[in-house]
Chains A and B, each alone.
Chain A
Amino acid sequence: MPELIHVGRDEDRDTYYLNMGPQHPSTHGVLRLRLLLKGEEILEAEPIVGYSHRAHEKMAENRNYIQFLPNTSRIDYLSGMIYNIGYCQAVERILGLEVPERAEYIRIICCELNRISSHLLWYGTLLMDLGGFTPFLYCWDDRENILDILDEVTGSRLTYCYGRFGGVTMDVNDEFLQNTLDFCKRFRERLPEYETLVTENIIFQNRCKDVGVFDQELAQDFALTGPILRAMGHKRDVRRDEPYGIYDKFDFDIPTLNGADTFDRFLIRVEEMHQSLSIVEQAVSRIPDGPVMAPKVPRKIKPPKGEYYFAVESARGHFGMFIVSDGTEIPYRIHLRTPSFANLSSLRSVLRGTMIADTVAILGSIDIVLPEIDR
């Protein structure tokens, strides 16, 4: 008869290690957590990353600026549009390229739709991690609408390569704008339904309230950004602080809350979906006619020698690109500062003293995308 479970370290029979992932239903891809447990209580948690490392940064050093475009949306496949267009905007800023106004509006519509779809997927998976399967499918139903709309204009459902230096690949037609408005109308009717099904549910609230509270020091220690930071009461959003594109022309709020627990992070993202909807509606109602590509885009992209930093607000936080150019067609180095990586780093401190069941709630509320952490 084989030896039964050897529980824990030799010197301490009360504690044991539990390996969670990389193949686990709720570590969202291939995150691995090494948990030191006492019963169900977590004494120490160690996230181990790197299982889906694809060397995007190294690839950038081996191809020219245009060839790196398709890589960008594969860094974070859930908000690929924001990354793709963010990279275009970075290079445009370096080259001093003017983007036609219509293209700017199209970019805003697509980016914000993408933000909503990313938040919807997060919403669904968080609820699934907490054991509620029905909201998950509600979210996917709505998300499907966005994917269809974006598919119509970009030709892909997830890993978009829609942006170009100086504009976007294709103009949108009236049907696209109408579909977008229809979606906004439908989704506004759906959001109260979500509220009654999930937000007001007492079990859900018990699972989330006062669970995974982030200390204020963590924000600085780990450079937290995005909804997590805003749930801690800091009004930080790149769209407002350092406006890029034409975000300064739009009227939207940066929601903040002070509780810093899982429930607050949940509420912040729901409110952000409302705000994104309002941005989309404003953009659709004001979109001007005109070209969608700048008239004179150099065939060879050769940014002047130097170091550049440009950041956008992705669905998960501050996405920065540090581009070092040596004056040739091929970037010397592109470092990607991805929000999930910084946000995940805080997990160790937050998980200490919680229970296994809280792990999935906290992890879900941080909203990580593994390929973006590993890059």
Chain B
Amino acid sequence: MPRDFVDIFGNPWLAAAAAIAVIMGFLSLNALMLIWMERKVSARMQRRMGPTERGPFGLLQTMFDMIKLLGKELITPTHVSRKLYLSAPVLMFVPIVAICSLFPLSENWVFHKYDIALVLVLAFSSMSILGIFAAGWGSNNKYSLLGAIRSILQNIAYEVPLILAVLAVVLVARSLSLYEIAMEQSPIPYILFQPLAAVIFFIAATAETNRAPFDIPEAESELIGGFHTEYSGMRFGMFFFAEYSNMVIVCALATILFLGGWHGPVLPGVVWFLIKVYALIFIMMWFRWTFPRLRFDQLLKFSWLLLVPLAVANLLVTALVLKLL
């Protein structure tokens, strides 16, 4: 029987503190590496070198950039609403840490096994929109506000197909626990049973993380910086940080729901899990550096008129097939 953090530490508060420390450490390292990876991937796709100077293959470049951001003065514009403006980066980050604590990385690497982990993940991931809206509204800037409004509309539009796609998996697995769902996929990952749900999930997840071609809330050629126009220094760094952490979250969720989690031959489970997550992240980066951006109304139409009906149909067919079997 695998043991979780609460069993190991005996005290739930201690376990929570340890879990937060582990997650923050992982997320920081992950963001640094992902930003490096994004630079390298984009550079290779654009016939450039990317960072080469600091550390082997420029691996430490992001670290130096982070130091530069930390050294910058934190400017709070006078016209902002201070409470909202200052709390937005934090609001953005809290749900991310919460979600990370729910993921089982392998059979034995799990903070705590919740029976309804999937519901919690979806609930927390909708919360990150609060941070974006606080930033957009609190900045008291028209560009930020437009970015925040777009962000909310986009999140609502893409949350629906995302959840419908997830529901199809829940029907197959007959469980809301991420651990159980991953365990169910021991021989065959669900992507083979639910290819359509997997595609819908991945598209919606890309939109949820505001990544290109769905990076409309922060479309820099239209809205300058979107909701984070007024942020500078490490406060901007936090939004950046959150974006890359969100990528890990949706890709980890996709790995657990569709790619069989940690199951794989030869290598240990955690390694398989991370390989799958980073392969998905690579695909997201590939999207970003290939496609132009959708227009806002096209984006909403794409979700409501194509993804949602498809996801509903997929769900109905899944239910029917399961009933008949």
By a beta-carbon cutoff of 8 Å, the part of chain A in contact with chain B is 1-2, 4-5, 7, 16, 18, 24-26, 40, 127-134, 137-138, 141, 197-198, 201, 203-204, 206-207, 355-360
- Name the one of B142, B213, B219, B295 contacting A18, with C-beta atoms under 8 angstroms: B142
Interface flag for B80 (CB, 8 Å): yes
Interface flag for B311 (CB, 8 Å): no
Interface flag for B65 (CB, 8 Å): no
Interface flag for B292 (CB, 8 Å): yes
In the complex, how many angstroms separate the beta carbon of B287 from the nearest chain A beta carbon?
10
In the complex, how many angstroms separate the beta carbon of A22 from the nearest chain B beta carbon?
13
Contact at A204–B292, with CB atoms within 8 Å?
yes
- Name the one of A127, A141, A355, A357 contacting B47, with C-beta atoms under 8 angstroms: A141
Interface flag for B11 (CB, 8 Å): no
- Name the one of A25, A131, A358 contacting B292, with C-beta atoms under 8 angstroms: A131
Contact at A357–B219, with CB atoms within 8 Å?
yes
Chain A residues within 8 Å of B46, by CB = 133-134, 137-138
Chain B residues 19 to 61 lying within 8 A of chain A, measured CB to CB, are 42, 45-48
Contact at A133–B289, with CB atoms within 8 Å?
yes
- A-binding segment of B118-126, B173-181, B220-228: B220-228
Other 7 A-B pairs with CB < 8 A, given A18-B143, A18-B146: A2-B80, A25-B221, A130-B293, A131-B221, A138-B47, A203-B291, A206-B298
Contacts A2-B79, A5-B145, A138-B47 given; indicate if A206 touches B289 (C-beta within 8 A): no
CA distance A206 to B219 in the complex (A): 17
Chain A residues within 8 Å of B45, by CB = 134
Contact at A207–B140, with CB atoms within 8 Å?
no
- Name the one of B81, B224, B289, B295 contacting A207, with C-beta atoms under 8 angstroms: B295
CA distance A287 to B47 in the complex (A): 34
CA distance A2 to B82 in the complex (A): 9
Interface flag for B297 (CB, 8 Å): yes
Instruction: Across the A-B interface, give the 9 residue pairs with the lowest CB-CB distance, nearest first.
Output: A131-B293, A132-B292, A26-B221, A137-B46, A130-B292, A129-B221, A357-B295, A131-B292, A134-B289
Interface size on B, residues (CB 8 A): 38
- Name the one of B140, B145, B292 contacting A203, with C-beta atoms under 8 angstroms: B292
Chain B residues within 8 Å of A356, by CB = 146, 222-223
- Name the one of B83, B141, B146 contacting A40, with C-beta atoms under 8 angstroms: B146
The residue of chain B having its C-beta at the shortest distance from the C-beta of A27 within the complex is B221
Contact at B81–A358, with CB atoms within 8 Å?
no
Contact at A131–B219, with CB atoms within 8 Å?
yes
In the complex, how many angstroms separate the beta carbon of B294 from the nearest chain A beta carbon?
6
The residue of chain A having its C-beta at the shortest distance from the C-beta of B43 within the complex is A137
Contact at B295–A355, with CB atoms within 8 Å?
yes
CA distance A203 to B299 in the complex (A): 10
By a beta-carbon cutoff of 8 Å, the part of chain B in contact with chain A is 42, 45-48, 78-83, 137, 140-143, 145-146, 212-213, 215-216, 219-224, 289-298
Contact at A26–B222, with CB atoms within 8 Å?
yes
Chain A residues within 8 Å of B291, by CB = 131-132, 201, 203
Chain B residues within 8 Å of A358, by CB = 295
Contact at A2–B47, with CB atoms within 8 Å?
no
Chain B residues within 8 Å of A197, by CB = 290
In the complex, how many angstroms separate the beta carbon of B87 from the nearest chain A beta carbon?
14
In the complex, how many angstroms separate the beta carbon of B123 from the nearest chain A beta carbon?
29
Contact at B221–A206, with CB atoms within 8 Å?
no
CA distance A357 to B218 in the complex (A): 12
Contact at A359–B292, with CB atoms within 8 Å?
no
Contact at A4–B140, with CB atoms within 8 Å?
yes
Contact at B222–A357, with CB atoms within 8 Å?
yes
CA distance A241 to B42 in the complex (A): 45
Chain B residues within 8 Å of A26, by CB = 221-222
CA distance A132 to B42 in the complex (A): 12
CA distance A137 to B289 in the complex (A): 11
- 29 pairs, CB–CB < 8 Å, chain A vs chain B: A2-B81, A2-B140, A4-B81, A4-B137, A7-B142, A18-B142, A25-B221, A26-B221, A127-B292, A130-B292, A131-B291, A132-B290, A132-B292, A134-B289, A134-B290, A137-B47, A137-B48, A141-B47, A198-B292, A203-B213, A203-B293, A206-B298, A207-B293, A207-B294, A355-B296, A356-B146, A356-B222, A357-B295, A357-B296
Chain A residues within 8 Å of B298, by CB = 206-207
In the complex, how many angstroms separate the beta carbon of A116 from the nearest chain B beta carbon?
19
Chain A residues within 8 Å of B222, by CB = 26, 356-357, 359-360
The residue of chain A having its C-beta at the shortest distance from the C-beta of B145 within the complex is A5
The residue of chain A having its C-beta at the shortest distance from the C-beta of B220 within the complex is A25
In the complex, how many angstroms separate the beta carbon of B157 from the nearest chain A beta carbon?
15
Chain B residues within 8 Å of A204, by CB = 292
CA distance A2 to B46 in the complex (A): 45
Chain B residues within 8 Å of A134, by CB = 42, 45-46, 289-290
The residue of chain B having its C-beta at the shortest distance from the C-beta of A206 within the complex is B298
Contact at B221–A201, with CB atoms within 8 Å?
no
CA distance A26 to B222 in the complex (A): 7
Contact at B215–A131, with CB atoms within 8 Å?
yes
Contact at B224–A2, with CB atoms within 8 Å?
no
Chain B residues within 8 Å of A128, by CB = 221
Chain A residues within 8 Å of B140, by CB = 2, 4-5
Chain B residues within 8 Å of A25, by CB = 220-221, 224
CA distance A107 to B215 in the complex (A): 45
In the complex, how many angstroms separate the beta carbon of A38 from the nearest chain B beta carbon?
12
The residue of chain A having its C-beta at the shortest distance from the C-beta of B216 within the complex is A357
Chain B residues within 8 Å of A24, by CB = 224
In the complex, how many angstroms separate the beta carbon of A244 from the nearest chain B beta carbon?
37
CA distance A265 to B220 in the complex (A): 23
In the complex, how many angstroms separate the beta carbon of A155 from the nearest chain B beta carbon?
27
CA distance A355 to B301 in the complex (A): 15
Chain A residues within 8 Å of B216, by CB = 357
